[in-house]
Amino acid sequence: MVEQHHLDSADIDRVFHALADATRRDIVRRTLVIEQSVSDLAAGYAMSFAAVSKHIAVLAEARLITKRAEGRVRLVRADPAALARAQELLRSYENLWRGRIDRLDALLLEEPDAMASIPAPEPTEN
């Protein structure tokens, strides 16, 4: 069974939805290195400040980044713990599928003629 590592189904959906976009992944990458202002982040993209702010809001909703105010400046930093939880989830899926493939391999090794007894599909006419 796949463990969810303190993420419920809605949390998982938000995390992977947030990471599905290249700009958001880049924002996470940039803010893992150093905390940055929203203005500095926006300057790095060929899109409006509002569009970058929306990307940041999606990341914040998924709890992949944190935002804080310092005077009038909004600072953004990636949350390594949240990324580690997503990585653990992916690792658990990988382990699940590796286990299934290993069991299938073992089954096929037990019965080497099992595949030979399966009839070939009939050719279809177009």
Sign of CA dihedral 96, 97, 98, 99: positive
CATH number, domain of 67, equals: 1.10.10.10
The per-residue pLDDT for range 112-121, each reduced to its tens digit, is: 665 566 677 7
> Which residue range(s) make up the domain with 93?
1-110
In a domain, 116, yes or no: no
Question: Is 126 inside any structural domain?
Answer: no
Are 89 and 7 a contacting pair, CB within 8 Å? yes
Q: What is the pLDDT of residue 5?
A: 47
The closest of 39, 25, 40, 42 to 78, measured between CA atoms, is 25
Domain membership of residue 118 (yes or no) is: no
Kindly indicate the confidence band of residue 4, based on its pLDDT and cuts at 50, 70 and 90: very low
Digit-coded pLDDT (tens) for 42-72? 999 999 999 999 999 999 999 999 999 999 9
Q: How far apart are CA 28 and CA 31, in angstroms?
A: 5
Please say whether the dihedral angle defined by the alpha carbons of residues 34, 67, 49 and 62, taken in this order, is positive or negative: positive
